[in-house]
Structures are given as C-alpha cells and as structure tokens.
Amino acid sequence: MIMGAARLGMRLAETGAYATGQVLRLFWPVRAPSRPERGFLCLSDRIALLRATVSNWPLLAVDRIAPRGTELTYRTVNGRRVHCRARTSDLLETVIVSSGFEYPVEHLRIDDDHPVVVDVGAHIGTFALLMDSLLGDRPYRGVALEPMAENFALLQENLRANRVTGFTTVQAAAACAAGEGFLRTRGQPDTAFLDPRADEGERVRTVELGELCHTMGLDCISLLKMDIEGGEHDVLAASWPFVAERVKVIVLEFHEDGPGRDLESLHMLLEPAFTIKVLHRGPTQGVLIARAHEAGEHVGG
C-alpha cells in the first residue's frame, strides 16, 4: 500500500513537472547554449541546456530531495522517456548525450544501408536511444555493452520503455581478454571502471571486443562508441587487429592519466588506420572521432 502510494505520488510529480515545463516555455524562452571554447558551462547555460533537452525539467526539484536511487522518469523533447536515479549523475548524462552536447550529432550520421552500432560503456542507454532516433526507420543492428548491474537494469528498462528493439544488450565489460574482473567506481554510476589490479568490488564478466563481435556475427562495425573511463587505451590496443580492419568510425570519450595513457598515445595507436579529429578536450578527458581512412564516403559529418 505504502509503495503503491509512493509510486502514484512520483507519477503525479512527473506529470506536474511536465505541465509546469510546458507552461514556463510560454514565458521563459528556451535556448540551447553553445559549447565554450575552454572550461565548462556556467550555471545559467547548464539550466538552459537542461530546459532545451528535457520537457519535464522541473522534476529536478524532486530529484534533488528524493532518497538517492529513487527512480524518476524524464521526458526528452524528442519524445524519449528516460528512467534515471535521483541524486546521481543519470540526469546530467541524459542531458549531455540526448542534446548532442557530448557527441555532436553531425558526426553520428551513418549512410550505410544496414548500419551496425556498438556502444561500449552503454550506461543507462542514452547513447543507444540517441542513435535509434538518428537512424529512424532504417533497419540497423546495435549492441549495447554495460557491466554494472544497476546500470544494466536501467539500460534494459529504458530500451523497453522506448520500444527500441534494434539493440541487443550484453552485461559485460570490454577488456583485453575474456574472463572476469572487478569494477571500481568513483562515486557516481557513470564512473565505474574495470580495474585489472582490484581483487574486490563488483565482479563482472569481461569480453574481448573482436571475439564478442565475431561470436555475434558482426563482420563490420559502422560506428563504435566507447566510454569506459580510461580503459580505452588497453581495450583498443588488445583488439587492434579487429578495430583496424572492421570498424569504420570510432566515437571515443578519452581519458588522460599521464604519459602512455593520454591523447598523444591514442593518436599513435589510431593514426595508422584512422583519421582523427578531437571534438572537445578538457583537463583530463575529451571526445574524439576517428574515421577509417577509406570510410569517408560511408559516414557523413
């Protein structure tokens, strides 16, 4: 009874937040901020990006006071419903990915007749939802890889809630080899990473990218997105023959942690097979796009 009343109250709050957001649009114009050349968005631009991306953005008030982990449903302006956990980074991730702020959509458009998209580090599914929207009614095949159990449950829930059937979900972490490992986190669910030195944490299955794609019958990847909190250096090196021969475009959130694990080392690894463009770069991380030398005519942007 109490749980049912709580769920009803949350649904009423979500509906009220949507109505409030729509009314405020009449009096408070919405604008999407541009990315600053250096540093981060100021507070007013963060609010502007939230309002430009999420229809029921006033639900943020509930998000800030609800018990941590309480599930809330945000509605994006393009009609997606995204289940997020209160007082976590889920909403931020939803906003920056759904808006194209993190991964500019002009670099994600695929011209292949039957695209294949692999999302490594899928979190709660925001990138998969974005790609499903961009691909429209075209037939495609997607794989969303996420090791953390709580994230994986929300990933599946968000794909179901939005009737996304093109993505297959795999609960595993990309690694240098198949087996098992331990996840560590820096406090937020989008910061979980595979620590090869750890002997405690959340035990997860590990897969090697080329072997996984071979098992799933994926011979050519139109777009590989990767956000694995620093593990990209080892994973790309371990799977390099497959990546160099079978992947057309990589969209990568890179992390820098000193010599050998920085942007320069990624350039050295990728340049023999890819043309690289850094889309944005902060003090310790950024996003780049790498296109296979012969893929220019296949993928727009």
pLDDT tens digits, one per residue of 262-276: 999 999 999 999 999
Spatial distance between the Cα atoms of 19 and 266, rounded to a whole number of angstroms:
46
pLDDT at 299: 42
pLDDT at 289: 97
pLDDT at 284: 86
Q: Give yes or no: residues 130 and 242 share one domain.
A: yes
Q: Are 45 and 33 in contact (CB under 8 A)?
A: yes
Spatial distance between the Cα atoms of 92 and 25, rounded to a whole number of angstroms:
21
pLDDT tens digits, one per residue of 198-237: 777 788 999 999 999 999 999 999 999 999 988 899 999 9
Domain count, the chain: 2
Q: Give yes or no: residues 217 and 285 share one domain.
A: yes
Domain boundary among 33, 64, 98: 98
CB-based burial of residue 290 (10 Å sphere; 0-12 exposed, 13-18 middle, 19+ buried)? buried
Percent of the chain with pLDDT over 70: 90
User: What does the longest C-alpha to C-alpha distance in the chain come to?
Assistant: 62
pLDDT band at 47; cut points 50, 70, 90: very high
Percent of the chain with pLDDT over 90: 67
Spatial distance between the Cα atoms of 188 and 178, rounded to a whole number of angstroms:
26
pLDDT tens digits, one per residue of 111-163: 889 999 999 999 999 999 999 999 998 999 999 999 999 999 999 999 999 99
pLDDT at 5: 52
Q: Is 298 inside any structural domain? A: no
Does 11 have pLDDT greater than 90?
no
pLDDT at 8: 57
Record the pTM: 0.90
Q: Give yes or no: residues 181 and 250 share one domain.
A: yes
Q: How far is CA 79 from the centre of its chain?
A: 18
pLDDT tens digits, one per residue of 12-45: 677 777 778 777 777 788 888 888 766 678 889 9
* Token pair for 24: 């405020």
Average pLDDT, whole number, for the chain?
89
* Token pair for 136: 């429209």
Q: Give yes or no: residues 110 and 86 share one domain.
A: no
Domain of 165 in residue numbering reads as 105-292
- 275: domain CATH number is 3.40.50.150
- Secondary structure of residue 25 in the 3-state scheme: helix
Q: How far is CA 293 from the centre of its chain?
A: 25
Q: Is 83 inside any structural domain? A: yes
Q: Is 12 inside any structural domain? A: yes
Q: Is 47 inside any structural domain? A: yes
Q: Is 148 inside any structural domain? A: yes
Lowest mean pLDDT among 273-277, 279-283, 286-290: 279-283
